[in-house]
């Protein structure tokens, strides 16, 4: 039954995977999917438990006696993953995370909040200049927010920022289990271009350091290279763009689509901005942009009657866990008053999203500005389409009137 239900390349599944997740949670919450050669887990209890389990990790190669021998495009792409917080385990993960805690401080996040506010107002100003009062809320509003914030964090000059989104979209294609050869080629090209750009930017920042995060991390590398290598510095900045961009843009896209389909809730939010924090959490829960993430067994593991040898791959479905009726009352209903809301859209455990506080600042500010400045915001008629991807679920466009 699980093989018949779970068809991740079918258009029906990609349009609405949540009905499939519901049946899987009830009938086959843990099963092996031959197509990906990985185990699929869909219940909140399992996803929550295994994300916190130190017997699982993002990679296993740090336990191998001999270095991995990669070939072809995989070897080329690996250069962009070495030392990335997402792709390492302790003690290296602890060492690099300490650098982030030293540089990516709450004070810096608060200061960025003021810039986010100003940016959101400028974007709405531009929208209001359009005579037809119609736009794509993703491209014309959501997308510039995280890209601008991360570009400011890295001190990327204005003239170079147009390259960041294409690089990010190309690189994340590598993580799709159904990726094509063309997607792999594009991911490698974008990764190489981004690495080369940041290497040049390091040279420039050494000559003219700024008050940005990138300059601070370069100073740490130059004074304490054992704490942070240049490759680790570059690859974690690539991670900042990819993770930060995808999370914020697609929570706004997926979330506003859900909110505007519930006009009574949109009206309530406009009348009471105190609802904004819980509304954002519900947006992340209801249609989670990062549908699942992979973990690998670091040592032979017995779990609920299953035996998983070291190296076994697991796909932990955040999106399904966030709709589990054992945890959420009426999980298929969108509810901006939902409290508590223990969703796991940002992950849990060691690899919990380090940028979550900044993402929440961006999301709450964006929603507040939209509710204040575009009170007549609504959906245009027509069926919307999602990108045909499995790891990331997001709309191709969100046409609105205002």
> What tens digit of pLDDT does each residue of 85-132 get?
999 999 999 999 999 999 999 999 988 998 999 999 999 999 999 999
**290 DSSP β-pair partners:** 392
Asked if 365 and 113 count as a contact pair (C-beta separation under 8 A), the reply is: yes
Domain count, the chain: 1
Residue 64: its pLDDT value, please? 74
| Averaged pLDDT for residues 5-10 | 92
Q: Give 19: exposed, middle or buried? Use CB within 10 Å, 0-12, 13-18, 19+.
A: middle
Sign of the dihedral defined by the CA atoms of residues 346, 138, 117, 378, in that order: negative
Number of Cβ within 10 Å of residue 388's Cβ equals 14
| Averaged pLDDT for residues 70-94 | 93
Q: Virtual CA dihedral for 201, 202, 203, 204, nearest 10 degrees? A: 50
Residue 69: its pLDDT value, please? 77
Residue 263: its pLDDT value, please? 97
Given a cut of 90, is residue 63 above it in pLDDT?
no
Please give the angle made by the CA atoms of 165, 169 and 173, to the nearest 5 degrees: 165
| Averaged pLDDT for residues 143-157 | 95
Q: Which secondary structure element, helix H or strand E, spans residue 134, and what is its range? A: strand 134-136
| Averaged pLDDT for residues 328-349 | 97
Number of Cβ within 10 Å of residue 90's Cβ equals 12
Residue 319: its pLDDT value, please? 98
Given a cut of 90, is residue 274 above it in pLDDT?
yes
Longest Cα–Cα distance in the chain: 65
Q: 354 preceded by cis ω (within 30°)?
A: no
pLDDT band at residue 4 using 50, 70 and 90 as cut-offs: confident
pLDDT band at residue 351 using 50, 70 and 90 as cut-offs: very high
Given a cut of 80, is residue 166 above it in pLDDT?
yes
| Averaged pLDDT for residues 339-351 | 95
| Averaged pLDDT for residues 298-308 | 96
Residue 288: its pLDDT value, please? 97
> Whole-model pTM above 0.75?
yes
Residue 205: its pLDDT value, please? 97
CATH number at 308 reads: 1.10.630.10
- State which residues form the domain around 43: 2-401
Given a cut of 80, is residue 214 above it in pLDDT?
yes
Q: What is the mean pLDDT of the chain?
A: 95
| Distance between CA atoms of residues 265 and 271, nearest Å | 10
Residue 246: its pLDDT value, please? 87
Given a cut of 80, is residue 264 above it in pLDDT?
yes
Residue 232: its pLDDT value, please? 97
Coil, strand, or helix at residue 23?
helix
Given a cut of 80, is residue 392 above it in pLDDT?
yes
């Amino acid at each position: 039954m699980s093989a018949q239900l779970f068809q991740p390349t079918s258009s029906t599944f990609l349009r609405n995977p949540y009905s499939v997740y519901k049946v899987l949670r009830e009938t086959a919450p843990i099963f092996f999917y031959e197509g990906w050669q990985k185990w699929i887990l869909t219940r909140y209890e399992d996803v929550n438990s295994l994300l916190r389990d130190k017997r699982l990790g993002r990679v296993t190669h740090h336990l191998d006696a001999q270095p991995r021998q990669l070939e072809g495009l995989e070897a080329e792409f690996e250069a962009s993953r070495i030392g990335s917080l997402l792709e390492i385990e302790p003690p290296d993960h602890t060492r690099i995370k300490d650098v982030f805690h030293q540089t990516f401080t709450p004070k810096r996040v608060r200061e960025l909040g003021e810039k986010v506010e100003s940016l959101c107002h400028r974007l709405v100003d531009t929208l209001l200049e359009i005579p037809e009062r119609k736009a794509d809320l993703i491209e014309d509003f959501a997308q510039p927010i995280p890209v601008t914030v991360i570009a400011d964090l890295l001190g990327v000059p204005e003239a170079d920022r147009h390259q960041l989104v294409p690089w990010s979209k190309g690189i994340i294609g590598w993580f799709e289990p159904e990726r094509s050869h063309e997607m792999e080629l594009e991911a490698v090209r974008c990764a190489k271009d981004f690495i080369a750009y940041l290497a040049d930017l390091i040279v420039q920042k050494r000559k003219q350091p700024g008050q940005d995060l990138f300059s601070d991390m370069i100073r740490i590398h130059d004074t304490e290279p054992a704490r942070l290598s240049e490759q680790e510095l570059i690859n974690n900045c690539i991670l900042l763009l990819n993770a930060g961009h995808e999370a914020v843009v697609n929570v706004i896209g997926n979330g506003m689509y859900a909110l505007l389909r519930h006009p009574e809730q949109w009206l309530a939010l406009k009348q009471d901005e105190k609802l904004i924090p819980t509304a954002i959490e519900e947006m992340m829960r209801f249609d989670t942009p990062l549908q699942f993430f992979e973990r690998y067994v670091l040592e032979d593991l017995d779990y609920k009657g299953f035996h998983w040898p070291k190296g076994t791959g697991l796909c932990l479905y955040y999106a399904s866990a966030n709709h589990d009726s054992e945890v959420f009352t009426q999980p298929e209903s969108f509810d901006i008053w939902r409290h508590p809301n223990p969703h796991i859209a940002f992950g849990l455990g060691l690899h919990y999203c380090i940028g979550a506080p900044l993402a929440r600042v961006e999301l709450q500010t964006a929603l507040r500005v939209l509710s204040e400045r575009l009170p007549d915001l609504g959906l245009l008629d027509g069926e919307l389409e999602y990108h045909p991807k499995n790891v990331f679920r997001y709309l191709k466009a969100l046409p609105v009137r205002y």
